Structure 1
Amino acid sequence: MTIIKILPHHELCPEGRVLDVAPGTSLCEALLENGIEIEHACEMSCACTTCHVIVREGLASLNEAQEEEEDLLDRAWGLAPQSRLSCQAIVAREDLVVEIPRYTINHAREHH
């Protein structure tokens, strides 16, 4: 199992969380399965940027971002060199520290 430390997010996870996740799981699935309701307007099909996260530690252990994901990330709010779409980032065996940005490009929040 892989440990994912989620940094505090004012709305989704105010106190932060530590998750124990099976390798092979996407970051988005891991968050949702653990009650952290990250937006995912395209239902995890790599068609939007609402599930954007910043991987503060362990980025190199994730699968490589494909061109489609990199193109979409250019539209994400708060883009950083360690940005990934959580629906495309697959957890390996290295522990991670993940930040959920304060905002998304969505004008209205999707409630899933």
Structure 2
Amino acid sequence: MPVIKILPHPEYCPQGAQVEAPAGTSICEALLDNGIKIEHACDMSCACTTCHVIVRAGGASLNEAEEEEEDLLDRAWGLEPQSRLSCQAILAQQDVTVEIPKYSINHAKENH
């Protein structure tokens, strides 16, 4: 099973974390399933950017971003060339390292 390494984030995982998830799982689902409460205001329907992550390693093993995801990412805070919506980034067999940006465009956290 691939491992997702999450770099330290002051709110979601101050010490950083590593989680395992089966191939075919989105990064967002894997984080949520392992107690890392990443924002996902649209319930993982590719309609917002609150689950934005920056893939620091292993990005080539993820599925390619579709046009809808790329269009939404243009509105994400802290956009970088390796940015993905974690609800759309699907794990393959290789490990990945992600960074959760410090901010999102969400003005009110949902109670997920």
How high is the TM-score relative to the length of structure 1? 0.98
Q: Look up the match of 2:58.
A: 58
Matched residue SS, 1:31? helix
Q: Look up the match of 1:10.
A: 10
Alignment RMSD (CA, Å)? 0.5
Matched residue SS, 1:68? helix
C-alpha distance in structure 1 between counterparts of 2:38 and 2:111, whole Å: 9
Q: CA deviation at 1:42?
A: 0.4
Q: CA deviation at 1:20?
A: 1.1
For structure 2, the 5+ residue unaligned runs are none
Matched residue SS, 1:56? strand
Query: Runs in 1 of length 4+ with deviation above 6 angstroms?
Result: none
C-alpha distance in structure 1 between counterparts of 2:83 and 2:104, whole Å: 13
How many residue pairs were aligned?
Answer: 112
Q: CA deviation at 1:111?
A: 2.4
C-alpha distance in structure 1 between counterparts of 2:5 and 2:79, whole Å: 20
How high is the TM-score relative to the length of structure 2? 0.98
C-alpha distance in structure 2 between counterparts of 1:61 and 1:110, whole Å: 31
Q: CA deviation at 1:86?
A: 0.3
Task: Give me the identity figure in percent.
Answer: 74
The superposition leaves residues 7-38 of structure 1 with CA deviations (integer Å, 9 ceiling, x where unpaired) of 00000100000111110000000000000000
